[in-house]
Amino acid sequence: MDDAMNRGRIMIIGAGGVATVAAHKCAQVPGAFRDIMIASRTLSKCEAIGSDIRSRYGREVRTAQVDADNVAELAALMRSFEPDVVLNLALPYQDLHIMDACLETGVHYIDTANYEPPDEAHFEYSWQWAYQDRFRQKGIMALLGSGFDPGVTNVFAAYAQKHLFDEIHCLDILDCNAGTHGHVFATNFNPEINIREVTQVVRHWEEGKWIETPAIIGEGSVHFSFDYPVAGVKDSYLLYHEELESLVRNIKGLKRARFWMTFSENYLTHLRVLENVGMTRIDEVDYEGRRIVPIKFLKALLPEPASLGTKYTGKTVIGNIMTGTKDGRDITRYIYNVCDHEEAFKETGTQAIAYTTGVPAMIGAMMVLTGVWRGAGVYNIEQFDPDPFMEALGSHGLPWQVTEHAALPGKV
């Protein structure tokens, strides 16, 4: 394993905004990433990323066309390139195919989002956790959720557990995008994945069980106003997010865990209309003698997320508010990052949503590639030592702060 690690060879699967950021950040760390390949179904997108990296950093990037739904094709490309790590930045539907190819070829696997079946708007870690024995027996690692949320938010919790608390009892993850992109309606990442995520029933963890509440566009959705650093007061909606599932297993003492995200009334109004007329449906319908999926057709009409950076202004503010005990007293701490859309665009040609996901994707890959994080099996990111990851965040564009804060109420 050590000899392979020293080659510093990474294969990035995907060519969207997050993959663009990750590739740029890999190119900035030649000591860790000596050989980079970008592979996607659309070769021209890979070549465009490679050309930009060549012009900015003078580094060559290999490119390839690959169908991430085809395990044999993926495995053949891996055998040809012989990567030490595969960074999956394709669609969540393709996670298991890529994991299968990694198993077949003995390559470490990393992703930023958990598996979601194409025919059901539902995501959970069970499908990927089921690979535990196979990855352990193969002697390779699968690192799950190395984005921002999931990803950095998990590491924030692990860091707090290690350094700030004896026990964390309440965890609230708050994700605020206070940016403006100039479009009437657009999504900050893949529209199909984004809309499936925010239209499903909400869950949060409380006293040992999952509590369900209505989706953000439904009657009775749970929301409150929060005064974010830099961004100010924003309406924040209770939403289910996958990191909650692993954090309630790996952070000791948690009695409540929730995830909140800001949405403008304009966004919610458009989403309600699209939902009401059936444009967010994920099943096939008949259209002029053909079968189409409405949400896929909608995706074709909406702005490409990777293109939003050209007009994006404002900032994102994402972090954790955690309440627990330290040395016998109750304390609350807020760990967060502020990222600027315009600065992200200057550096990588993308907006801050892609930047905040692509940077930790690179850092997770660097942790594995350089052997800082080692193991055989399937791991969520909070299961490793958070300190080297937290240090790398600050030096690679995502500085963070820890402040005292009032505890959030149980009922909002």
In the chain, the domains with their CATH numbers are 2-148+355-394 (3.40.50.720), 152-349+400-404 (3.30.360.10)
For residue 189, what pLDDT is reported?
62
pLDDT beyond 60 at 6: no
User: Which of the four pLDDT bands, split at 50, 70 and 90, describes residue 245?
Assistant: very high
Is the distance from CB of 172 to CB of 333 less than 8 angstroms?
Answer: no
For residue 262, what pLDDT is reported?
94
Alpha carbon of residue 177 to chain centroid = 15
For residue 301, what pLDDT is reported?
81
Is the distance from CB of 86 to CB of 104 less than 8 angstroms?
Answer: no
For residue 308, what pLDDT is reported?
67
Looking up tokens 């509590």 gives 211
User: Which of the four pLDDT bands, split at 50, 70 and 90, describes residue 377?
Assistant: very high
pLDDT beyond 90 at 197: no
Instruction: Please compute, for residue 250, the number of CA atoms within 13 A of its CA located in the half-sphere on the CB side.
Output: 20
Q: Kindly calculate the radius of gyration of the chain based on its CA atoms and give it in whole angstroms.
A: 20
Question: Mean pLDDT, to the nearest integer, of 143-162?
Answer: 98
Q: Return the SS3 of 214.
A: coil
For residue 4, what pLDDT is reported?
42
Question: Mean pLDDT, to the nearest integer, of 237-254?
Answer: 96
292/191: higher pLDDT: 292
Question: Mean pLDDT, to the nearest integer, of 223-240?
Answer: 95
pLDDT beyond 70 at 251: yes
User: Which of the four pLDDT bands, split at 50, 70 and 90, describes residue 281?
Assistant: confident
Question: Mean pLDDT, to the nearest integer, of 257-284?
Answer: 85
pLDDT beyond 70 at 412: no
Distances in whole angstroms, Cα of residue 314 to Cα of each of 181, 231, 233, 311, 351: 9, 8, 14, 10, 10
For residue 3, what pLDDT is reported?
43
For residue 5, what pLDDT is reported?
44
